[in-house]
Amino acid sequence: MVGDQGGGGGSADPLTADVTDPLTADVRMAYESAAAGWADGPALMYAPLAGALVASAAVPLAGSRVLDLGAGTGAAGLAARASGACQVVAVDLAAGMLRRCPAPLHPLAADAAALPFRDGSFDLVVAAFCLSHLGSIGAGLAEARRVGRAIAASAFAPGWTHPAKAAVDDALRPFGYRPPAWHVALKSQGEPQAGDPALLAQRAAAAGFRDVQVRTIVVATGLSTAAQLASWRLGMANIAAFVRSLDAPRRAAARYAAERAVVGCEPLVVPMVVLTGG
């Protein structure tokens, strides 16, 4: 199998991994909680974004070996296979997400900063919207460079938002929702750094990638109805655990409130920062 483990300290169970950083542990648990409803909500947005990212890769996908870093349920890995990759490994810390990865993606729980693969195991590392979740973007890129010959990574463009975000948050507040501390920390630190083109280019070059390019592309996700926009937001990791904590009647009422709140919102179009290098 591609990327045989070699000195990375992988755990016995391929879908479990030790986590010591408190913020990382909180993020992992949030995504564990979101996993059950991911396919019916956030995945509908991330699939077209993953396809656009893979299409931006600076290396041929046909016959390639690809690492899907921060894979979640494997949107980027599936896009890589659809583009001709011969072998894909999906890596994440959230076992609940990985268990929803298709078996051909060889899901494996591992830390992005300490990957259990030998040097040069992959032709391409795809990192779709995961850099903001890392304790150190530089360390994550350096590890990606160690195991991969090229990278294609994405982040939300600086300052981007969508009306449905605030609308759903406001609709949920009467039910007791407040943004979790880990999400506030990522929004204030992780996302601004991951989406900063100059910073990304600098850190990718420092990690050893050559021919580094950072550009912004705009992707229409196809989500446009109130039901689709509400499902996208209610399924996100920063909200899903709260929704699941409500009893059935209040959960139904919260969904109804969320759908009403996004009526008339514009279709979901995402400006995406794309980093490539070899």
pLDDT in tens, 77-87: 999 999 999 99
Q: Which pLDDT tens digit goes with each residue over 21-35?
A: 545 788 888 898 899
Alpha-carbon Rg for the chain, nearest whole angstrom, is: 18
Q: Is the torsion defined by CA of 191, 192, 198, 204 positive or negative? A: negative
pLDDT confidence of 193, banded at 50, 70, 90? confident
Chain centroid to CA 250 = 29
Q: What is the 3-state secondary structure (H, E, C) of 132-182?
A: HHCCCHHHHHHHHHHHECCEEEEEECCCCCCHHHHHHHHHHHHHCCCCCHH
pLDDT at 8 over 50: no
Distance CA 179, CA 151 (A): 32
**Rounded Cα gap, residues 220 and 52, in angstroms:** 10
Determine the pLDDT at residue 168.
98
Which DSSP state fits 273?
A: E
Lowest-pLDDT choice from 7-11, 67-71, 153-157:
7-11
What confidence score (pLDDT) does residue 182 get?
86
Bridge partners of 126, per DSSP, are 68, 152
What pLDDT digit, counting tens, does each position of 63-78 carry? 999 999 999 999 999 9
C-beta of residue 192 within 8 angstroms of C-beta of residue 255:
no
Cβ-defined contacts of 251-258 (< 8 Å, 24+): 253/175, 254/171, 254/172, 254/175, 255/230, 257/171, 257/172, 257/174, 257/175, 258/167, 258/168, 258/171, 258/172, 258/230, 258/233, 258/234
Domains of the chain in sequence order: 22-159+181-220+268-277 (3.40.50.150)
Nearest to 129 by CA among 40, 195, 81: 195
Q: How far apart are CA 130 and CA 275, in angstroms?
A: 12
Q: Is 94 exposed, middle or buried (0-12, 13-18, 19+ CB in 10 A)?
A: buried
| Chain Cα centroid distance, residue 256 | 27
Q: How far apart are CA 249 and CA 251, in angstroms?
A: 5
Place of tokens 């059950």: 36
Distance separating the N- and C-terminal Cα atoms of the chain: 23
Average pLDDT, the chain: 91
Q: Which of 89, 94, 154 is nearest to 115 (CA)?
A: 89
